[in-house]
Amino acid sequence: MPIDKFVLILVVVIAAAGITVWIATMVAAAVQFPLGWFVVIPVMLVAYVAWRVIAERLANTDDDHYDRMDK
């Protein structure tokens, strides 16, 4: 990968992270949520992603490692 493309990607990712944090602080300052909601929402998102990964691994017959084991 050329260095200029790598630097461009790095700058865009850092800028996007900064803008995301800035918008989140503005929303948090404007909306009076109870403190628990700031913990519950990320935990629910992580649990949903974990549930989808586990469901995909259980349902995927092409990637079943136990079918290729000698019995």
Report the half-sphere exposure of 8 (CA within 13 A, side-chain side): 5
pLDDT digits (tens, 9 = 90+) for 3-30: 899 999 999 999 999 999 999 888 878 8
Ramachandran bin of 23, using left for φ above 0, alpha for ψ from -120 to 50, beta for the remaining angles:
alpha
Model's pTM, two decimal places? 0.45
Per-residue model confidence (pLDDT) at position 46: 93
Domain ranges of the chain: 3-68
Per-residue model confidence (pLDDT) at position 53: 87
The span from the CA of 65 to the CA of 68, in Å, is 6
